[in-house]
Amino acid sequence: MLQKILPLLFLSFLSLALRATSSNPNPSLTAYDELNRTGFPIGLLPSGILSYSLNLTTGDFAVDLADHCRVTLPPDNYLAVYSKRITGQLVDRKISGLDGIRVRAFFRWWSITTIRSTGDDLVFDVGVASAKYPAKNFYETLDCQGSNGKKASS
Ligand X SMILES: *[C@@H]1O[C@H](CO)[C@@H](O)[C@H](O)[C@H]1NC(C)=O
Positions that interact with ligand X (CB under 6 A)? 36, 39-41, 55, 57-58
Cα angle for residues 50, 143, 71 (degrees, 5° grid): 105
Q: How far is the C-alpha of 125 from the C-alpha of 72, rounded, in Å?
A: 19
Q: Residue 43 Cβ, how far from ligand X at the closest point, in Å?
A: 9
Burial of residue 26, with CB atoms counted within 10 A of its CB: 0-12 exposed, 13-18 middle, 19 or more buried = exposed
Q: How far is the CB of 19 from ligand X (least distance, A)?
A: 12
* Nearest distance in Å: CB 84, ligand X: 21
Q: Is the dihedral of CA 40, 45, 46, 51 positive or negative?
A: negative
Q: What is the DSSP letter of 22?
A: S
DSSP 30-72: -HHHHHHHTT--GGGS-S-EEEEEE-TTT-EEEEEESS-EEEE
Q: Tell which residue, 75, 129, 63, has the closest CA to residue 99.
A: 63
